[in-house]
């Protein structure tokens, strides 16, 4: 059974990204309501930079969760491949049967790239 914590990185990543976009919007909205640049700086710093930081952290969490799930899938595929190779190696471990009739070296001659028989 899978742990309930497996998908936590993706959920937190989405929550952080949404919170970051909300902070960016609130910072923009607060800065837009003031006419002077000195009054806009607190909104840009608190909303813009903090929101951008949350979006970056959320994106990093989403990427790490994606890599983690890809790694789990790859391990499963490698294990399936190992099982198939072990199964095939057991099937091909016995020697190949010898043909009933072998041509003698005198009957087969090689001319260039062609092999011709003198039957």
Q: Strands 108-111, 114-117: parallel, antiparallel or unpaired by DSSP?
A: antiparallel
Q: Is 1 a residue whose pLDDT tops 60? A: no
Could you give the percent of the chain with pLDDT greater than 90? 40
C-alpha 41, offset from chain centre: 41
Q: What is the pLDDT of residues 35-83, one digit of tens each?
A: 888 888 888 888 889 999 999 999 999 999 999 999 999 999 999 999 9
Could you tell me the pTM of the whole model? 0.63
Task: State residue 78 phi and psi, 5-degree precision.
Answer: -65, -40
- Of 1-10, 16-25, 51-60, the one with minimum mean pLDDT is 1-10
pLDDT grade for 112, boundaries at 50, 70 and 90: low
CA dihedral 71, 74, 80, 81 (to 10 degrees): -130
Q: Does the structure show a pLDDT above 80 at 118?
A: no
* CA–CA separation, 64 and 16 (whole Å): 14
Alpha helices (H) in the chain, listed in sequence order: 8-32, 37-43, 50-91
């Amino acid at each position: 059974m899978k742990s309930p914590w497996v998908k936590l990185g993706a959920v937190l990543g989405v929550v952080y990204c949404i919170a970051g976009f909300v902070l960016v919007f609130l910072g923009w909205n607060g800065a837009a309501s003031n006419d002077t640049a000195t009054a806009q700086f607190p909104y840009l710093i608190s909303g813009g930079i903090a929101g951008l930081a949350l979006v970056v952290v959320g994106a990093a969490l989403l990427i790490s969760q994606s890599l983690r799930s890809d790694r789990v899938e790859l391990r499963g595929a490698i294990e399936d491949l190992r099982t198939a190779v072990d199964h095939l190696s057991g099937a091909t471990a016995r020697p190949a049967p010898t043909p009933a009739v072998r041509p003698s070296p005198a009957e087969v001659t090689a001319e260039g790239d062609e092999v011709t028989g003198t039957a």
